[in-house]
Structure 1
Amino acid sequence: MRIMKILFKNRRILFLSFNKNNYSTAPKYLATLRIGEKEYRTDEYTNITPKILSYLNRNLHLKKDNPLSLVRQRIVNYFYSSFTHGGNPIFSVYDNVSPVVSTKQNFDDLLIPEDHPSRAKSDCYYINSTTLLRAHMTAHQSELLRAGLDNFLMIGDVYRRDEIDSTHFPVFHQIDAVRSQRKEQLFENHPDLDIFEPSFDRTNPHAYTNSISNPIKQSCHTLEATKLMEAQLKNHLIGMVRVLFGEDIKYRWVDAYFPFTHPSWELEIYYEKNWMETLGCGIVRNEILANAGPNNTIAYAFGIGLERLAMALYKIPDIRLVWSTDSGFLAQFQNKNANANIVYKPVSIYPQCTNDLSFWLPPTTTIDTFTNNDFYDLVRDIGGDIIEQVKLKDKFIHPKTKKHSLCYSIVYRHLERTLTQAEVNKIHKEIEDAATKAFNIVVR
């Protein structure tokens, strides 16, 4: 099968096509990249790969026989039943929004500083310097607020460059939510109380410099408003966790930092003898609300990963399984009630094959400047979903030559059949050849 590997040269994308383990000698330079029906210009930021593009529009969270869809439905049902007005749910759901977003949506609208590490090319899949695949569903928060929405759930696939193991995948799924309230809603029984401090001019909110130096609240908010929103937020999320994991689940709150909320917390649950981070949440920064429209509300927000919940609820041992099309896997979730107690049963257990790859870095690269995620993407592009794990096994600097060397351990395992060592060796050699050409390394 022909695969396209993206490299970079002179600010243009260089597509080196290779068939099996042989690179083409005729590279093509493309100034644009087509995603769906739209073409995007490319530049030095472009690092999205064909393998990642192949995951677009899969919408696992909407596939009724997928465990992610069951978890999604349970959470949506909880919010539908818990928040109603006149018998109708007050939360709206957006679960089919394009994952292509601007850097403004993904970062600037959320007050993420320009030097924040989450913006790095090593962390995100960039289409170009101003466009990327969303790294979180929160990227759609400001546009929905500007549309006049007060309470909404955003559900979809998000993309982050990351390590490779049984719990990490470059694509995963999130539910993000916002609930905002006006003064008369929040203080229905206490009209003398207010959301904002007397010094805050809501007619000109941009003239007010909001501070988050106080760990308890934002400077624009009253303590009463902050504490009431915090109590609501935590009660609502504890209720959701109890619906998922049972009334007796142990939990704890941990103070956290997110650029777009203050104060912020993470919720951990005690699950199978370990504390497991479940979600992040907090009070939405008032600047975000002010930039989105009328500044007369206070809001909370949270974000939660569906894969982590599904793997815990259904005892799924490997995150790659949620992408499986194997009937033996899907049948276990087919035509099931969202609240059904399902425990995944392995169809078969296939052995691992592990090969190491050691190489010398080029003279201009050190073990500290080499980007692991670049190597991980290359390995995944060539090996596909039979790559179970890639671990940095060893770093070495030669005492005399001062050459820098890295050694990675690559674990291969097919989810549906036994791999032979011969076919693993063949793929491993393709990875060696591709890495040699891509990174100018010398295999040891």
Structure 2
Amino acid sequence: MHKIFPRVRRVSSLANGRVELLGNQYPTDSVTNSHYADFTHISSLSPLVSPFKNFDELSFPQDHPGRAVTDSYYVNKDLMLRTHTSAHEVEVFRRGEDKWLLTADVYRRDEIDGSHYPVFHQMEGARIFSADAAGMKEVEERTIVIEDVPHVSATNPSQPTHDPLYSELVAQNLKLSLNSLMLTLFGGAGVGSGAPLRVRWIEAYFPFTSPSFEVEVFFRGKWLEILGSGVVRQATLDTANVSNKIGWAFGLGLERIAMILYSIPDIRLFWSTDERFISQFKDKQITTFQPYSKYPSCFKDVSFWTQQDVALHENDFCDVVRDVAGDLVEDVKRASGSLCVFPAMTPLQIDRFVHPKSNRTSLCYRINYRSMDRSLSNEEANELQSRVVSQLKEQFGVEIR
């Protein structure tokens, strides 16, 4: 697994204290907690879970890409870092919780750019009702009417085991709850004096809900995806021994919403201890982030032949770079228009070539080294690049061109 366990320790250590910081420093977490004040609030569950808990309990198909070692951090075949807060749905429902809010760090192997980081924070909310007339009476209580995509449709159906009417009522209740949350979060920030907040619901697919929806908000001139949601899979509730219930769940990324609300351009800043960043934010106040001096980039290319019998996924490459450079790397991406782009290339590669005789593959990536709090010297960048090359050779047997 290419030194996955050391990476598990490294990325899990990054999360220490950040849930608290996101809650206390930025109002995203505290506002949401206040909005769901009568929900049970949970934030102390271990990030180490079994793949069964992370995937199988939530009806993920066996061939889902999220299961791959290139997408998730595994300790071994029986233990991994959770990739989403939904990994605890069955556990919390089984406790007897009918309405709860869970905030936690989650981990994914991903590309390197301003909006992706190997650890980030999610908030999951869920509410279940008795699947009978009394439960549906509670669901029906509402003060506004929602006009948007159908709550249930042929392309976004209710589950076979659900009464279609009950499923529609639960979806309506979900939308009422989240529209109110969106108004609380975004209604007073950048929408415009007297202008109504525009929220739209889009049909979506998630293995653990049906019908499923994504929620977008029109904010500062463009539509932005905010969260995913839906009616909880009955199989999940059955596993949790609450088969007589029906309900909804949603999940949102705290850093993503904070980046939108405060116009924060780089997710690495959430791990910064620089006072120029931290001092800009006050409790329960939404202000636009004022960038301080942006230090110069230092671009380094690396080109190599891969071994035919050794798999090198793009996320493997990005993890090698993160292992060496940490937050001193800003992104790994294709240089715009600088080189011919082959059809089989991925977005991160600036060159890809397959030798017509040997059938060997050559890849080229461009790494952008840039510190958020000081200027990197070319010598420092060269040293980092040398260590990246050394690790690529050691772990994947590449041949540098």
Aligned pairs, how many?
A: 365
TM-aligned CA deviation for residue 62 of structure 1: 0.9
Q: Could you tell me how far 1:348 is from its partner in structure 2?
A: 2.0
Per-residue deviation at 1:131? 0.7
Structure 1 residue 118 corresponds to structure 2 residue 66: yes
Distance change in 2, residues 1:189/1:173 (3 Å): closer
Structure 1 unaligned regions, length at least 5:
1-5, 9-44, 81-88, 191-211
What secondary structure sits across from 1:295 in the alignment? Answer: coil
Q: State the alpha-carbon separation in 2 of the partners of residues 300 and 53 from structure 1.
A: 29
2:232 is aligned with 1:232 = no
CA distance in 1, matches of 2:203, 2:22: 36
1:23-71 CA-to-partner distances (Å, cap 9, x unmatched) read xxxxxxxxxxxxxxxxxxxxxx857354324314x1312127864x521
Q: Distance in 2 between matches of 1:394 and 1:139?
A: 38
Secondary structure, in 3 states, of the residue corresponding to 1:224?
Answer: helix
Instruction: Look up the equivalent residue of 1:92 and give its one-letter code.
Output: T
Which letter does structure 1 place at the counterpart of 2:363? Answer: L
Letter in 1 for 2:206: F
Partner of 1:353: 298
Partner of 2:240: 292
| 1:63 pairs with 2:21 | yes
Q: Percent identity?
A: 39
Relative to structure 1, the CA distance from residue 214 to residue 352 in structure 2 (aligned partners, 3 Å threshold; closer, same or farther) is: closer
Distance of 2:297 and 2:139 partners within structure 1: 62
- 1:177 counterpart SS class: strand
CA displacement at 1:189 relative to structure 2 = 9.7
**2:92 maps to which residue?**
144
Question: Does the alignment pair 1:363 with 2:308?
Answer: yes
Q: Is the 8 A contact 1:65 1:330 kept in 2?
A: no
Task: Pick one of 101, 114, 124 that aligns with 1:166.
Answer: 114
What is the match of residue 187 of structure 1?
137
| Counterpart residue type for residue 381 of structure 2 | V
TM-score by length of 2: 0.86
- For 2:252, what is the secondary structure of its paired residue? strand
1:334-360: CA deviation from partner (whole Å, max 9, x where unpaired): xx232x121111232111111111101
How far apart are 1:413 and its partner, in Å?
0.7
List per-residue Cα deviations over 1:178-216 (Å, max 9, x = no partner): 1011131322599xxxxxxxxxxxxxxxxxxxxx98733
* 8 A contact 1:264–1:283 mirrored in 2: yes
Q: Distance in 1 between matches of 2:227 and 2:351?
A: 33
Equivalent residue of 1:401, what SS?
coil
Q: Among residues 325, 328, 346, which one is paired with 1:386 in the alignment?
A: 328
Q: Equivalents in 2 of 1:294, 1:419: separation in Å?
A: 56
Cα distance in 1 for residues equivalent to 2:104 and 2:174: 22
Per mean C-alpha deviation after superposition, the further-off stretch among 221-230 and 119-128 is 221-230
Where does residue 198 of structure 1 map in the other structure? none
Which of 316, 319, 325 is the aligned partner of 1:377?
319
Please tell me whether residue 251 in structure 1 is matched to residue 227 in structure 2: no
Aligned residue type for 2:366:
S
Indicate conservation of the 8 Å contact 1:389/1:412, yes or no.
yes
2:48 alignment partner AA = V
Do the aligned partners of 1:48 and 1:126 also contact (CA within 8 Å) in 2? no
Q: Which amino acid in the other structure matches residue 357 of structure 1? A: V
Matches of 2:154 and 2:316, distance apart in 1: 37
* Counterparts of 1:284 and 1:263, CA distance in 2: 8
From 272, 276, 283, give the equivalent of 1:337: 283
Letter in 2 for 1:186: M
Q: Distance in 1 between matches of 2:101 and 2:128?
A: 12
> Is this contact kept in 2: 1:60–1:66, CA < 8 A?
no
Change (3 A) 1:71 1:215: closer
How many Å apart are 1:406 and its aligned residue?
A: 0.4
Partner Cα distance (2:181, 2:42) in 1: 19
What secondary structure is seen at the aligned counterpart in 2 of 1:346?
coil
Between the aligned partners of 1:402 and 1:214, the Cα distance in structure 2 is 43
Residue ranges of structure 2 left out of the alignment (5+ in a row): 141-152, 189-195, 334-348
The alpha-carbon distance between structure 1 residues 64 and 232, as it changes in their structure 2 partners (threshold 3 A), is closer
CA contact (8 A) 1:393 1:408 kept: yes
Secondary structure of 2:374's partner? Answer: coil
Q: Which has the larger radius of gyration?
A: 1
Q: Partners of 2:240 and 2:356 in 1: how far apart?
A: 57
Do the aligned partners of 1:386 and 1:414 also contact (CA within 8 Å) in 2?
A: yes
Instruction: Give me the CA root mean square deviation.
Output: 2.1
Check conservation: 1:66, 1:330, Cα contact below 8 A. Answer: no
1:436 to 2:382 alignment: no
Q: Does 1:100 align with 2:100?
A: no
Aligned in 2, Cα 1:75/1:188: closer, same or farther, shift over 3 Å? closer
Amino acid at match of 1:350: Y
SS at match of 2:199: strand
| Alignment-mate amino acid for residue 370 of structure 1 | L
- 1:323 and 1:105 map into 2 onto residues whose CA distance is 29
Summarize deviations over 1:198-257 as a string: whole Å, max 9, x none.
Answer: xxxxxxxxxxxxxx9873311222222111111111111111111111172322111111
- The code of the aligned residue for 1:353 comes to C
**Contact 1:47/1:121 (<8 A) preserved:** no
Q: Distance in 2 between matches of 1:78 and 1:52?
A: 31
Q: Which amino acid aligns with 2:221?
A: K
Out of 116, 124, 136, the position equivalent to 1:176 is 124
The one-letter amino acid of 2:322's match is R
Structure 1 residue matching 2:293: 3-state secondary structure: coil
Give the 3-state SS of the residue equivalent to 2:280 in structure 1.
helix
